[in-house]
Amino acid sequence: MSGELTGPRALVTGASTGIGEACARVLADRGATVTVADIDDVGAKQVASDLGGRAWHVDLCDTAELDSLELTSTSWSTTRVSSP
């Protein structure tokens, strides 16, 4: 990815560790406000605190939580960011 992100919001699932955390950190470094979504509340809060973002508990195996996630994300303007 090249260039800076100015003003967008990013919701990264599985972002308390590993690849999800790395993605959240890159997005934050490039200017995005990141919501760290994970079933691990403690890890999500720590990463969100490091990034100046928000933590959100979400269990992707729970269909009710997935519906909530979809409703929240559709209220945002959408820009897809992908790696080459």
> Is the CB of residue 37 less than 8 Å from the CB of residue 45?
no
State pLDDT tens for residues 38-66.
999 999 999 999 999 999 888 888 887 77
CA distance 33 to 64: 25
List of residues 6+ apart from 20 with CB closer than 8 A: 12, 13, 14, 38
State pLDDT tens for residues 21-40.
999 999 999 989 999 999 99
> Is the CB of residue 32 less than 8 Å from the CB of residue 5?
yes
Rounded to two decimals, the pTM is: 0.72
Q: Which domains does the chain have, with CATH numbers?
A: 9-70 (3.40.50.720)
